[in-house]
Amino acid sequence: MPNSNLIEKTEKLVIIGSGPAGWTAAIYAARANLAPLVLAGDGLTRDRMPGGQLMFTTEVENFPGFEHGIDGQKMMAVMQQQAERFGTRVSNHFVTRVDFSVRPFKIWHINELSGDDEQLTEAHAVIISTGASANYLGLESERKFENNGVSACAVCDGALPRFRNAPLVVVGGGDSACEEATYLTKFASKVHLVHRRDELRASKIMAERTLKNPKLVPVWNSTVDEVLGTDADGVTGVRIKNLKTNQTHTIEARGMFAAIGHTPNTKFLNGQVQLNEKGYIVLPDGFRSMTSVEGVFAAGDVADSVYRQAITAAGMGCKAAIDAERHLAENGVH
């Protein structure tokens, strides 16, 4: 039986999530002698993976400091080691719920993979860096070709050699699908924008600009039925299903980008921190990392629906650690 009442001790700072935002916050907080505890996720599902979203990508080419790029998993392992070197403690646990109405804050966490009992940790300050998971279509063939032609991030992957001068498919019809598709026209020979309806959901100005792009071909009332390819070549095409006629046809493509939104990982907060209409954490100051709850800070994609890059997440992690350290000092916790 889970023993939720077991309180080991009150932590100065708990960091929830272990992507670039969480590890950067941990590096800064540990160097400020806060000995932070990182609850890194338990790995039960993709959105609970210690290391975060970059654990699912091969090459990261745009993080400064790595002239020739770095493997996503390696980058996250090095960030963790850097955080641990200065005294960060790490637990591969997933936070199930919190109580931010009391001081110290209460955080319940569990490892469902190893079957650990639920534990309760108290903390004087908390940094939330739980990310926002990219939504995928959910096809088996899509998962099979991930990193081999399937992506969910045009800014991250668009410039990779396999996508250059090649036909590509983007799935989605909102603002971010238009942004992704337009961005990809810089590299691709042609971008097929596959959308379920007969007009884009994006804002009028964005939709008009997108459809005027000569490299963009809209594919209306349609969905991707199957991603086609081989182990050796990766994606070679997609099978499209017309939702009105149920007929299928194949589009030749070297890549497929899912642009059907992100899900911020904020469910465990149960409304205790102010969220925007899409579920992202609101930072009332905008520039700083404070949330609507004093002593609770947020960093990375969980509070950023615009940029969603490793470097921006890391930058926000740095800010959150500095803000948390100052908050703790002002409250006599050193």
Ligand X SMILES: Cc1cc2nc3c(=O)[nH]c(=O)nc-3n(C[C@H](O)[C@H](O)[C@H](O)COP(=O)(O)OP(=O)(O)OC[C@H]3O[C@@H](n4cnc5c(N)ncnc54)[C@H](O)[C@@H]3O)c2cc1C
Whether 153 sits among the annotated catalytic residues: the reply is yes
Q: Output the smallest distance, CB 261 to ligand X, in A.
A: 12
Q: Which of 278, 277, 280, 261 is nearest to 269 (CA)?
A: 280
d(CA 334, CA 332): 6
Q: Helices (DSSP H) in the chain: which residue ranges?
A: 20-31, 72-85, 140-144, 154-157, 175-184, 204-212, 310-330
Q: What part of residues 164-203 is at the interface with ligand X (CB under 6 A)?
A: none
Whether 156 sits among the annotated catalytic residues: the reply is yes
Q: Does 98 engage in binding with ligand X (CB under 6 A)?
A: no
43 and 93 Cβ atoms separated by less than 8 Å: no
Q: Does 313 engage in binding with ligand X (CB under 6 A)?
A: yes
Q: Quick one: tokens of 330?
A: 């002002």
Q: Output the smallest distance, CB 229 to ligand X, in A.
A: 17
177 and 202 Cβ atoms separated by less than 8 Å: yes
Catalytic residue among 156, 178, 301, 323: 156
Q: Does 19 engage in binding with ligand X (CB under 6 A)?
A: yes
Q: Does 281 engage in binding with ligand X (CB under 6 A)?
A: no
Among 308, 319, 321, 327, binds ligand X (CB under 6 A): 308
Phi-psi region of 181 (alpha: psi -120 to 50; beta: other; left: phi over 0): alpha
Catalytic residue among 153, 175, 225, 318: 153
Query: Candidates 26-34, 44-52, 244-252, 279-287 — which segment interacts with ligand X by CB under 6 A?
Result: 44-52
DSSP 3-state of 277: coil
Question: Following DSSP, what letter does each residue of 226-255 receive, concatenated?
Answer: EEEEETTTEEEEEEEEETTT--EEEEE-SE
Among 13, 14, 15, 16, binds ligand X (CB under 6 A): 16
From edge to edge, which strands make up the β-sheet containing 248-252? 222-230, 234-242, 248-252
DSSP 40: -
Query: Candidates 150-158, 191-199, 281-289, 323-331 — which segment interacts with ligand X by CB under 6 A?
Result: 150-158
Q: Among residues 12 and 48, whose Cβ is nearest to ligand X? A: 48
Query: Candidates 118-126, 128-136, 285-293, 322-330 — which segment interacts with ligand X by CB under 6 A?
Result: 128-136
Active site residues: 153, 156-157
Chain residues that interact with ligand X, rule: CB under 6 A: 16-22, 39-41, 47-54, 56-57, 60, 62-63, 94-95, 129-131, 134, 151-153, 156-157, 265, 268, 300-302, 308-311, 313
